[in-house]
């Protein structure tokens, strides 16, 4: 997960799902999971204007939703502490 400041007052999400991640079905499922984590945690990044870029690695689809969500939230918290 990569974070960068943004000029507009809302947070954006970018997903880079390459073929190394697997077939089209696997890549699309990974993107749906990432978008859902972003949607469910919109309140966590209020007050920030960020571009969040996610590059899922091979093995992403074997992780549970809770583990992925915890990783996302930990990344946001680390960013907030550094500001």
Q: What is the pLDDT of residues 11-53, one digit of tens each?
A: 889 999 999 999 999 999 999 999 999 999 988 877 777 888 9
Torsion of CA 31, 33, 38, 40, to 10 degrees: 150
φ/ψ region of 9 (left if φ > 0, alpha if ψ in -120 to 50, else beta) reads alpha
Residue 5 has pLDDT above 70, yes or no: no
Residue 40 is predicted with a pLDDT of 94
1's tokens: 């997960």
Helix (H) / strand (E) containing 35:
helix 24-40
């Amino acid at each position: 997960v990569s974070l960068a400041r943004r000029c507009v007052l809302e947070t954006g999400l970018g997903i880079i799902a390459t073929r190394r991640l697997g077939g089209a079905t696997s890549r699309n499922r990974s993107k749906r999971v990432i978008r859902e984590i972003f949607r469910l945690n919109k309140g966590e990044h209020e007050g920030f204007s960020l571009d969040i870029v996610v590059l899922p690695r091979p093995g992403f689809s074997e992780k549970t939703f809770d583990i992925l969500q915890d990783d996302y939230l930990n990344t946001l918290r680390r960013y907030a502490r550094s500001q």
